[in-house]
């Protein structure tokens, strides 16, 4: 999860305050492109401005954010290093640098920054949540849970902490607790719509298909960031329940949103096979293999079986499955006495 985006509003307000100064065309142009999400051009103009005004920490912050938007985390960290030297007491700059360290997989450095913030202000919720995320990334779940519980002691209505606890419980395999935490997050803040998707996963893994379908449907209807994944997972449930038409519909919607999803093609092909629509199934198996589906070795076997039934060439598909490590492919290749 990219935690930088949590602070877009704060950075936008900073950009507005700088924009109001109107002192320099470079700064005005940088702000214009930043606000319009053209971060490459924003960097060009912020750089020109900083060449003239090298002690403006707010513009280093904005350029760092622009770098982060382009996944240029090292450059962003360098700018924040400069900004922190200019304002050593600014907690927000440390938090921003910690976030970029996190996104660059430098979890230890991020923990150090969050910990330094917490030494000055033990009630900083951003730092507690951010450090817990680093601990989770390092599989230090007990430390992550401690930080989140501290955050909830400070603010019992901090819904993000419940959401993070839900993720950790899911990782630990405690779906019951995960469901409780995601439910708490949603109850506190109905805008946490992504938690419908995550709770749906935990319902599904708990064999609570009806509840999972309801949550995936809510995630789709509310336009969750995980809408594509929600269609796919709901399709998997319908497939499991033998509701193949509904499953095909959801897999199709998944593909319309993400044509690179080889698994959606593979599972839609399985549904077509169940409905004796083998030609459509063959085409989807082929598309799945072209998209490097993790089930490609199975897809090649099924393509061979379909062609065998239709009196078409099948050996090359069994051979390909066997080459990918598919035991059934090797078995069918031998049984069919393919050369």
pTM: 0.85
Under CATH, to which class is 1-104 assigned? mainly alpha
d(CA 61, CA 56): 9
pLDDT at 5 over 60: no
262 backbone dihedrals φ, ψ, rounded to 5°: -65, -30
d(CA 298, CA 73): 40
- What pLDDT shows up at residue 15? 58
C-beta of residue 64 within 8 angstroms of C-beta of residue 96: yes
- What pLDDT shows up at residue 19? 46
* pLDDT averaged over every residue in the chain: 93
Of the candidates 68, 49, 54, which has an alpha carbon nearest to the alpha carbon of residue 11? 68
- What pLDDT shows up at residue 75? 97
Burial of 291 (0-12, 13-18, 19+ CB in 10 A): middle
- What are the pLDDT digits (tens) for 306-319? 999 888 999 999 99
Q: Which two tokens stand for residue 185?
A: 């997050």
Percent of the chain with pLDDT over 90: 87
User: What is the arithmetic mean of pLDDT over 194-213?
Assistant: 98
Higher pLDDT, 160 or 336: 160
- What are the pLDDT digits (tens) for 50-78? 999 999 999 999 999 999 999 999 999 99
Confidence class of residue 335 from pLDDT cuts 50, 70 and 90? Answer: confident
pLDDT at 130 over 90: yes
Q: Residues 6 or more apart from 7 whose CB is under 8 A from it?
A: 95, 96, 99
Of the candidates 34, 95, 97, 44, which has an alpha carbon nearest to the alpha carbon of residue 69? 34
- What are the pLDDT digits (tens) for 253-293? 999 999 999 999 999 999 999 999 999 999 999 999 999 99
CA dihedral 253, 256, 261, 263 (to 10 degrees): 30
Q: Residues 6 or more apart from 310 whose CB is under 8 A from it?
A: 278
SS3 content of the chain, % helix, strand, coil (to 5): 80, 0, 20
Q: Domain boundaries in the chain?
A: 1-104
d(CA 226, CA 233): 10
Please tell me the total number of residues recorded for the chain in this structure.
339
């Amino acid at each position: 999860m990219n935690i930088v985006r949590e602070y877009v509003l704060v950075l936008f307000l900073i950009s507005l305050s700088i924009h109001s100064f109107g002192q320099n065309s470079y700064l005005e142009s940088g702000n214009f492109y930043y606000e319009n999400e053209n971060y490459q051009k924003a960097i060009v103009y912020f750089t020109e401005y900083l060449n003239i005004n090298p002690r403006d920490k707010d513009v280093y912050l904005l350029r760092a954010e622009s770098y982060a938007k382009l996944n240029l985390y090292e450059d962003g960290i360098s700018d924040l290093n400069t900004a922190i030297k200019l304002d050593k007491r600014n907690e927000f700059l440390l938090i921003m640098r910690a976030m970029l360290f996190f996104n660059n997989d430098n979890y230890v450095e991020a923990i150090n920054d969050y910990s330094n913030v917490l030494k000055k202000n033990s009630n900083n919720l951003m730092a507690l949540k951010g450090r817990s995320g680093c601990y989770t990334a390092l599989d230090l779940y007990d430390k992550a849970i401690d930080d989140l519980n501290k955050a909830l002691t400070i603010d019992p209505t901090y819904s993000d902490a419940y959401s993070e606890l839900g993720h950790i419980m899911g990782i630990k395999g405690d779906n019951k607790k995960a469901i409780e935490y995601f439910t708490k997050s949603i109850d506190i803040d109905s805008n946490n719509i992504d938690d419908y998707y995550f709770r749906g996963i935990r319902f599904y893994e708990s064999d609570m298909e009806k509840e999972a379908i309801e949550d995936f449907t809510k995630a789709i209807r509310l336009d969750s960031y995980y809408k594509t994944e929600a269609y796919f997972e709901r399709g998997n449930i319908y497939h499991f329940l033998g509701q193949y038409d509904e499953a095909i519909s959801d897999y199709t919607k998944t593909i319309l949103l993400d044509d690179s999803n080889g698994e959606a093609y593979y599972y839609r092909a399985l549904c077509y096979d169940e409905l004796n629509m083998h030609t459509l199934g063959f085409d989807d198996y082929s598309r799945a293999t072209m998209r490097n589906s993790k089930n490609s070795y199975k897809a090649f076997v099924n393509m061979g079986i379909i062609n065998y039934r239709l009196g078409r060439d099948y050996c090359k598909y069994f051979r390909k499955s066997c080459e990918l490590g598919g035991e059934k492919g090797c078995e069918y290749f031998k049984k069919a006495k393919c050369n």
